[in-house]
Structures are given as C-alpha cells and as structure tokens.
Amino acid sequence: MKKILLVFCIAVSMLSYSQKKLSADYSYKVSQPYKVFDAANKFYFAKDNQAMTVKIHKDEVLIQKFNTDKPSFTKEELYEKKFPKNFVVEDILEINNKFYFFYSSWDDDNEKEQLFYNEIDFEKGEFVGSSKMLFDVKGKVTGTSMGFSVQDKFPFLLSHDKKNILIKYRKKPEVKRDVNSYDVIGLMAFDENLTKTSGNELKMPYTERRMDNLDYHLDNNGNLYLLTKVFHDDSNKDKKKKKDEEANYHLELFFVKAGTSKIDITKFENKEKFINKLWIFDTPNNFLVCGGFYSNGKGERNDSDGIMSFKINNTGGIYDEVYHDIPLELLNMFESKKTVKKNEKKEEKGEEAKFKDLKLKNLNVDKEGNVVLIGEQDFVIAYTNSKGNTYYKYFYQDIFAAKINKNGGLDWMKKVPKNQYGSRGKSGMSYKYFFANNNHYLVFLDNVKNIEIAADKAPERHTDGQGGYLTSVKINDNDGTLTKGSILNAREVEDFKLHQFSTNRVFKVSENAFMFEAYKKNKEDVMIKVEMN
C-alpha cells in the first residue's frame, strides 16, 4: 500500500510539474505548418502586418512572406544560382524603409574583394533587378574564418536615423609580425540611396600590438568615430595582476570629419579603471553616448566591478563621464551559499567581489540620452579526455541590466537569474532583447523551477535541446520593476514539441507582439506569435 501511495504521489508531482501554469501576461498563436528550408543564414524582418524571412543555403536564397495578424505563411520565392559561386553573405539591412541584401565575392583574377548589394521588395517578397557592386578593395581583407570561407569581412553600422551607413574593413597586413605592422582600416560611408558620401583608408597611428579597436560609429552628419585602447607596451593584452593598480593602456577616440581624411584624437585617461567593453551609440540630440563595463583590476578579462558612461560631442570631445559600482548585495542575489561566503570573505580582505564573465550584449539609448546596458555571463570551458580529444561546454548564465539617466545618475540595477548549459555552441541558449511599451524584454528558454525563484537560491540548470519553458522578463524603464512569466512549454505547444529553438529567430512585430520560427519535425516549420497582454 505504501508503494502504491508513493507511486501516486510521484505521478501527481510530475503532472503538476508538466502542467505548470502559464503567465496571464502573455498568449500565443501558432501558424499552420509549412515546408522547412534548411539554411545556415536566416534573417527576419517585420513591417506593418507582414513579416519576411530571407534564408540562404549554398547557392540558394529563399524569401518567405507571412501575415503577422493570424499568423500565417503567405508565399515564397526561391532563387537558385542568382549570385556568384562561393559568395559570402555579409548582412541584410533596412535603410530608409528599403531592404538590401549585401554579399561579398573574391575576384581571383584581379585580386580584389568585392561588395555587392541587391534590393528586396518587401511587399512582394522578391529581389528587385540584378545585383550592383557597391565598391571593391584591392587585396585581401580580414574576417572570421569559417571552414573554407571568410565571413564578417564588412561590418555594417547604421546611423540613428537609418539614413547613413558606414561599412568598415581591415586590410590584410603585409607584415605578418604585428609588432611591426600598422593596421589599415577602410571606412566607407553611404547615404540612404547607397550613394557614396566619403571613403577613407586610414593608416592607424600605432602598431597592431599597441591597439585594440573597441567600436566604430557614423553619426547623422556623416562624421566617423573610432574608439580604441592604446597599450603602453607591445603586449596587446590587458594586464590584471594583483600588483597592478593602473591599466597598461588608455583610451583614445579618433574623429574623422565628414569629407576629410584627417584624424583628430581625444585622449581619455582611464588609469585605475580596466575597460572590458565600450560601445558608441547615437542620440537624436547633438551628442553621442558611450557605455560599457569596467573593473578595478585584480581579476580576469570580462570580470566587472561596475558600469560606465560618457558623452561625445560632434567634434569628438569627451565629457560627463560617470562610474557606478555593482553592489555586493546584487552580486550575492541568486547565488549558492558557497559563492556568497566567498564574495563576503573577499570584501572583508579589502578585495572586491566581481560579476564574473560578464559580456556587454545590448545598449539602448533613448531620445533624452538615458542609457540602458545589458550584459550576460557567457563563457566556454574546454575539456580534454584520456584519448587527447578536446571538447567544449558552453554556458550562458545570469543577465545584468542597469539604467544610467541623462544626468549620469543610476536609476536602477537588476540581476536576472539564468543557468543555461549546452555542448553545441550557442544553439538555443542566451536571450533575445527588445524594447516595447516602455519596457525592456528579455526572452529565453529556462528551467520551469526558476520562474518563482527566491533571491537566496541559485537557478536550476536548463540543458540546451531538452525542452524548457519560454520565459519573458519585463523590466519597466521608469523604475526598474521586474516581472517574470512563462509564455509556453516547448514540449507542449498544441499537439507537438518545439525543436531547434534559437533566440536569433525571435523578432519584434509590433509594440505588443513578437514572433519566432521553430521546427516541429516532419520537415515542417511553424511561426509562433506571442501577444504581450
């Protein structure tokens, strides 16, 4: 009898677990299934009540259209061998309400790297005419090696009004030893009609070993900004030994006025502040905002003690810099007792507990110049087995968010517990961020046990590829009020399970809704629309 009762209790427990109540703040609708198209590159866009996906696989490009109200699949156009052999997708961008497909192709005969574009008619879901060359570069440019191809050769930056575009490239150094090599950076600017407004190849004033470029920016007037670390030695590496009280580098902002090639340099002495990451963002006002994370030394790269911000005027001048430390109370939230005790001992010894492995992922600047910074614990651990084979484990853990107001004050600071683990790279881990209805939304797959987690408990692990609950964290922009809710159970979406979920496929379709695409087996995809009630 006791055994029967035990089995009954376990069954009830499992039933209650699988039937976890979903949040009333969200509801969702699922489209009818449609034929899957496997592709390495997938892009998602929304406009009015329509959505468009562009999927690229080898020499095939598929454009699909959807109605976002229902949601429902409406049409598709497949293009085969329209582009050069071995072309490399660079980006797809919306510029002044038009959509452009950018790709590169190496001209072996003339030894030139070429950048092309082809306009896409969003309404029709079709390419407009043939491709056009935007510009070419004599010789090789650097990028990210992916098997037999090189990707990310041409990073793109849009101005705040989406009417100016900056395309950057780095010439492959002729001198292999970077201690003797000076980077040559190409910065090509175009207007909303993709008409070239300026183009410069700038030789950096320091060798590669002395520089680490942090960010580039193009403002609405076509002025160029480059923020870089300048090292005081040839290490090309942050030194964070216990005895080091000052960074072995300082920051410099390179400013190139529109239509010129002259570099004006503003020096920024960070001294005891070790800069992890900084990004430059435009504002509708007459200044730019730069924000990121810093540490006070005595830690590993990507360990952070606080957040920082400063403004940049339209001549490259830096002013109004502010720093805000991350308090111990926040660091100890959602941690194990062991970690809390360790952090407290560090503080007692005069050392500082840090937010470990924190990487800047998003920076949002509103029309007033208020800054919201969002980071995530993101790290990889390599393991080698007895046979000498190396494999990797990927971790995407807690999220950090904070708001610095336009006057430099700290409005709020939050820590969102998360513990994702996988062995296939990013895959379905990390989060998707978007801003809507004066709220900051963080969407990710999580272990259901973490929905109502207490502040003195560490989050349960979510293993990538093993179901999970699609979770949304909403942070009010005004006061930082945080609410958390379950949207759906990936194992119980109508009569099927979701597979191959990826935050890269989540995209905003209105102020009250977002959509994402997922695989449901049987060679079929579905589009799921989530309403934020």
Query: What does 336-347 look like in DSSP terms, one character per residue?
Result: -HHHHHHHHHHH
What is the number of other CB atoms lying within 10 angstroms of the CB of residue 179?
11
Residue type, 94: E
| Candidate from 23-37, 176-190, 510-524 with smallest mean pLDDT | 176-190
**DSSP codes of every residue in 6-34:** HHHHHHHHHHHHHTPPPPTTEEEEEPPPE
For the stretch 400-429, pLDDT in tens is 999 999 999 999 999 999 999 999 999 999
Indicate the SS3 state at residue 276. Answer: strand
What is the average per-residue pLDDT within 427-452? 95
Q: Is the confidence at residue 17, as pLDDT, over 50?
A: no
Mean pLDDT of 107-113: 93
- Secondary structure (3-state) at 334: coil
Helix (H/G/I), strand (E/B), else coil: 122: coil
Cα distance between residue 511 and residue 531, in whole Å: 9
> Do 154 and 90 form a contact (C-beta atoms < 8 A)?
yes
- Proportion of the chain in helix, strand, coil states, percent, rounded to 5: 10, 55, 40
Q: How far apart are CA 46 and CA 48, in angstroms?
A: 7
Q: CA dist 211 to 181, 231, 249, Å? A: 11, 6, 9
pLDDT tens sequence across 291-300? 999 998 777 7
Distance from the Cα of residue 406 to its chain's centroid: 24
Does residue 278 register a pLDDT over 60?
yes
Q: What residues contact residue 438 under an 8 Å CB cut-off, 6+ apart?
A: 476, 477, 478
Q: Which has more pLDDT, 385 or 79?
A: 79
Decide if pLDDT at 84 tops 60.
Answer: yes
User: Closest by alpha carbon to 502, among 449, 457, 444, 463?
Assistant: 444
Q: How far is CA 415 from the centre of its chain?
A: 18
Cβ atoms of 59 and 506 closer than 8 Å: no
Strands (E), 131-219: 132-138, 144-146, 149-151, 156-158, 164-170, 182-191, 196-207, 211-218
CA distances from 430 to 49, 72, 149, 236, 437 (A): 28, 27, 26, 29, 23
What does pLDDT average to over the chain? 90
232, two tokens: 């005081």
Position 164 pLDDT exceeds 90: no
Range with the poorest average pLDDT among 148-152, 285-289, 374-378, 427-431: 148-152
CA atoms within 13 A on the CB side of 320: 18
pLDDT band (50, 70, 90) for residue 12: very low
Written as six digits, the tokens of 227 are 């923020």
Q: What is the mean pLDDT of residues 491-502?
A: 89
Q: How confident is the model at residue 8, as a pLDDT? A: 44
Helix (H) or strand (E) holding 194: none
**pLDDT at residue 13, rounded to an integer:** 41
CA–CA dist 340, 282 (Å, integer): 39
Contact 172, 142 (CB under 8 A): yes
DSSP conformation class of 305: S
What is the C-alpha to C-alpha distance for residues 97 and 92, in angstroms, rounded to an integer?
13
Q: How far apart are CA 530 and CA 71, in angstroms?
A: 10
How many C-beta atoms lie closer than 10 Å to residue 194's C-beta? 16
Within 10 angstroms of residue 370's Cβ, the number of other Cβ atoms is 19
Q: CA-to-CA distance for 109 and 312, rounded, in angstroms?
A: 44
Specify the DSSP element, H or E, that contains 91: strand 88-95
SS3 153: coil
Identify the pLDDT of residue 200. 82
First and final CA of the chain: distance in angstroms?
A: 47
CA angle 75/158/371 to nearest 5° reads 110
| CA–CA–CA angle 370, 376, 378 (5° rounding) | 150
Neighbours of 386 (CB within 10 A): 5
Strand partners, 287: 313
Q: Percent of the chain having pLDDT more than 70? A: 93
